[in-house]
Amino acid sequence: MIRPYGRRPRPPAPGDILAEARDLRVRLGARDVLTDVALTVRAGEVLALAGPNGAGKSTLLSALAGDVPPVRGTVSVHGRRAADWSAPELALRRAVLPQAPALSFPFTVEEVVRMGRAPYAADPATTPADDDRAVAEAMAATEVTAFAARPFSTLSGGERARTALARVLAQRAPLLLLDEPTAALDLRHQELVLRLCRSRALAGDAVVVVVHDLGLAAAYAHRVALLRAGRVVATGTPAEVFSERLLSDVYDQPVEVFPHPRTDGLLIAPRRDL
């Protein structure tokens, strides 16, 4: 029997906890990928997950989405255990951007973005005009409208990434979980995506984003969770977490942190002794 989609969640208030991990342990195969992880995601913030390759960032994102079951601990989404939501109910509450979106059929860009509206198919309060507006706004925000009729398979890596992000935005879930959304993008579109993350947080959503560029994380994230070997070693504002000593230790690479000459942000770069 197919479970009903249920009601849309109420709009979150600033500071509401939209996702939470407690004493989280995740095992993939014979290896513990996450150990003793505790993390809270609140409405109105961009939370960046940072750390070296293999630190567990993508697995933590998948666990927060309810897609990877823990062997110990709990993950809650909107105050309820993620495993207790049906898939349709969960789709109304969180939207997930995977690291490498792929499609097997020749869908157009607009058709891919419209897939984000699937959770509302059984919602009598949603009209076709609502779907059209959400799709159009998401494509405009990610700058993919100009090639809406092109097959997804013909796009460049960056165009695919922006189309996949548009699908997530069209879903209009209050919790956005984005895995390396800037990885395939040029400089301009990296900034565009992180500005979109900030605007969604400003509108009241919670955004969790896996990002390797520490400069982008420092510029756009309200909070950072820094991971190493499956553990969260520090959480806080970028200014609190991004110290030269901690980053150099976590990345096993000397790192320099400078105050930005024009803003209150940070500039982060590997130390090069040329």
Predicted TM-score of the model (pTM): 0.94
What gap in Å lies between CA 208 and CA 60, rounded to an integer? 10
User: In what helix (H) or strand (E) does residue 205 lie, and over which residues does it extend?
Assistant: none
What's the one-letter identity of residue 152? F
Largest CA distance in the chain: 66
What are the φ/ψ torsions at residue 144 (nearest 5 degrees)? -120, 5
CATH 3.40.50.300 matches 1-93+173-274 = yes
Every domain of the chain and the residues it spans: 1-93+173-274, 105-171
Pure H helices in the chain: 57-64, 87-91, 109-114, 128-142, 157-171, 187-202, 214-220, 238-241, 244-251
What gap in Å lies between CA 136 and CA 116, rounded to an integer? 12
- pLDDT tens across the length of the chain (274 residues): 234 445 677 889 989 999 999 999 999 988 999 999 999 999 999 999 999 999 999 999 999 999 999 999 999 999 999 999 999 999 999 999 998 777 778 899 999 999 999 999 988 889 999 999 999 999 999 999 999 999 999 999 999 999 999 999 999 999 999 999 999 999 999 999 999 999 999 999 999 999 999 999 999 999 999 999 999 999 999 999 999 999 999 999 999 999 988 888 899 999 988 6
